[in-house]
Amino acid sequence: MARRVVVTGLGTVNPLGKDVASFWQAACAGESGIGEITQFDASGMKARIAGEIAGFDPEEYIERREARRLDRYDQLFWASTHQALTDAGISYEEDDPAAMRAGVVVGSGIGGMISFQNGIDTMRERGPDRVSPLTITQIISNMAAGLVSIRYNLFGPNTCTVTACAASANAIGDAAEIIKRDAADVMVAGGAEAPVCEFAVAGFSQSRALSLNNDDPQGASRPFDADRDGFVMGEGAATLILEEREHALARGANIYGEIVGYGMSSDGYHVTLPRPGGGGAARAMQHALDDAGLASSDVDYINAHGTSTAANDVTETAAIKTVFGDGAYSVPVSSTKSMTGHLLGGAGALESLVCILAIRDGIVPPTINYTTPDPECDLDYVPNEARSVGVSTAMTNSFGFGGHNVSLVFAAHH
């Protein structure tokens, strides 16, 4: 019998909320978590806005000494994972045999970017002997996975996906596959990013990817709108606890939903731009549907990649039309990046969490700041206000620099 994979725990810290409940309330209310950058002096930057997590205190989850040894992206994932494991009612002692069947997959686009920048600054200003011995472990993208494995006694498969803005969608899909092939019963899966620093903001600005609408931070991220001018960088983390269905039922776990489809493809076209026409994105979506054994007409909601860039939004719209045909105009599509900003490698995990909550509550969050229709983006983007919709099946899309395309399909548990 095929092993089925269900979701039994959720956790997040992001610009809209420091836990799942506060995030979901704000998302359904159409609030924005974007403002002027406060983590450094951005006055000399082209882009001076971001989605930051106001008031995040890692010491709510981590001892002070330990917290100071970690990059912010590690702290964020630690926090979201603590929430998710607590929500799932899962904990292991070091000698628990079940811990050998529990693992971790984390996605991050650029890992410890803040620590990387600080280490370079220290070396240039004070010399190589003053660089912290912790620098490398703070920087490397896999360390969030390693840390939560150490802290929570997760001794099964442990790995990291680094596929730019598709990274945490890959992490969730890969974690589900690990369970399906009977290499684990429980997997911590998700992603984190903490890119709000001078180096990352400057780099993305120079690639002309970021919105320069600095005078209207809350209105700057406007996916599918004709006046969009780039994405807004965001920080955050989200964690899903994935579990083999029979294992979850045996322990009486609360089951939010089921992951039923995982599709991937490559554009093979350009380092930053999507392939025109959306052929690669469409293949990932179709592969996910095929994996789920579903038709496009079975999908009740699409959480779009929807970055608010000129190229992505047109391409993703075209891809949806390719896969859904005439049904593309009747399925609600929304981009929660309009509210959170773009969490880069953490985006896919947060948007998977959105799909699970949409299934649970029958509410589709809106695409805010949608005021001027774009003739090339003519689908139902759930403009500006959440909508009550019966959602049994939801798809989320994540596309990354380098041409990485990932789609995931979630369904109500039966």
Domain boundary among 250, 280, 315: 250
If asked whether residues 406 and 311 sit together in one domain, one would say: yes
* pLDDT value for 128: 96
Is residue 112 within 8 Å of residue 263, measured between CB atoms?
no
**Is 256 contained in some domain?**
no
**Is 246 contained in some domain?**
yes
Gap between the Cα atoms of 413 and 395, Å rounded: 15
Give the residue-averaged pLDDT of 200-219. 96
Residue 414 among the catalytic residues: no
Read off the DSSP letter of residue 94.
T
Gap between the Cα atoms of 54 and 36, Å rounded: 11
**Is 121 contained in some domain?**
yes
Element (DSSP H or E) covering residue 394: strand 393-400
If asked whether residues 203 and 300 sit together in one domain, one would say: no
* pLDDT value for 363: 98
264-317 confidence digits (pLDDT tens): 999 999 999 999 999 999 999 999 999 999 999 999 999 999 999 999 999 999
If asked whether residues 233 and 303 sit together in one domain, one would say: no
* pLDDT value for 247: 98
Domain boundary among 218, 250, 282: 250
If asked whether residues 42 and 142 sit together in one domain, one would say: yes
**Is 64 contained in some domain?**
yes
If asked whether residues 108 and 218 sit together in one domain, one would say: yes
* pLDDT value for 196: 97
**Is 344 contained in some domain?**
yes
Gap between the Cα atoms of 20 and 377, Å rounded: 30
82, 247, 287, 305: the catalytic one is: 305
If asked whether residues 240 and 107 sit together in one domain, one would say: yes
If asked whether residues 210 and 351 sit together in one domain, one would say: no
Domain boundary among 250, 272, 293: 250
Read off the DSSP letter of residue 181.
T
Q: Over 90: is that where the pLDDT of 239 sits?
A: yes
10 Å Cβ neighbour count for 249?
13
* pLDDT value for 234: 98
**Is 257 contained in some domain?**
no
Give the residue-averaged pLDDT of 110-138. 95
For 280, the domain range is 262-411
2-31 confidence digits (pLDDT tens): 899 999 999 999 999 999 999 999 999 999
Give the residue-averaged pLDDT of 344-373. 98
* pLDDT value for 409: 98
Give the residue-averaged pLDDT of 178-203. 97
Burial group, residue 159, by CB count within 10 angstroms (0-12, 13-18, 19+): middle
If asked whether residues 240 and 147 sit together in one domain, one would say: yes
82, 247, 287, 342: the catalytic one is: 342
Is residue 411 within 8 Å of residue 392, measured between CB atoms?
yes
**CATH number for the domain harbouring residue 186:** 3.40.47.10
If asked whether residues 269 and 246 sit together in one domain, one would say: no
Percent of the chain with pLDDT over 90: 99
* pLDDT value for 1: 75
If asked whether residues 314 and 169 sit together in one domain, one would say: no
Residue 160 among the catalytic residues: no
Number of structural domains in the chain: 2
* pLDDT value for 28: 98
28, 82, 160, 165: the catalytic one is: 165
143-177 confidence digits (pLDDT tens): 999 999 999 999 999 999 999 999 999 999 999 99
If asked whether residues 306 and 360 sit together in one domain, one would say: yes
Give the residue-averaged pLDDT of 245-249. 98
DSSP bridge partners of 188:
104, 241
DSSP bridge partners of 263:
407
**Is 190 contained in some domain?**
yes
Q: According to the 3-state scheme, what is the secondary structure of the chain?
A: CCCCEEEEEEEEEECCECCHHHHHHHHHCCCCCEEECCCCCCCCCCCCEEECCCCCCHHHCCCHHHHCCCCHHHHHHHHHHHHHHHHHCCCCCCCCHHHHHEEEEEECCCCCHHHHHHHHHHHHHHCHHHCCCCHHHHHCCCHHHHHHHHHHCCCCCEEEECCHHHHHHHHHHHHHHHHHCCCCCEEEEEEEECCCCHHHHHHHHHCCCECCCCCCHHHCCCCCECCCCCECEECEEEEEEEEEHHHHHHCCCCCCEEEEEEEEEECCCCCCCCCCCCHHHHHHHHHHHHHHCCCHHHCCEEECCCCCCHHHHHHHHHHHHHHHHHHHHCCCEECCHHHHCECHHHHHHHHHHHHHHHHHHCEECCECCCCCEECCECCCCCECCCEECCCCEEEEEEEECCCEEEEEEEECCC
Is residue 164 within 8 Å of residue 344, measured between CB atoms?
yes
If asked whether residues 232 and 298 sit together in one domain, one would say: no
* pLDDT value for 12: 98
Amino acid in position 77? F
Place of tokens 């038709």: 295
**Is 255 contained in some domain?**
no
Residue 165 among the catalytic residues: yes
Percent of the chain with pLDDT over 70: 100
Output b/e per residue, 106-141; b: 16+ Cβ within 10 A.
bbbbbbbbbbbbbbeeeeeeeeeeebeeebebbbbb
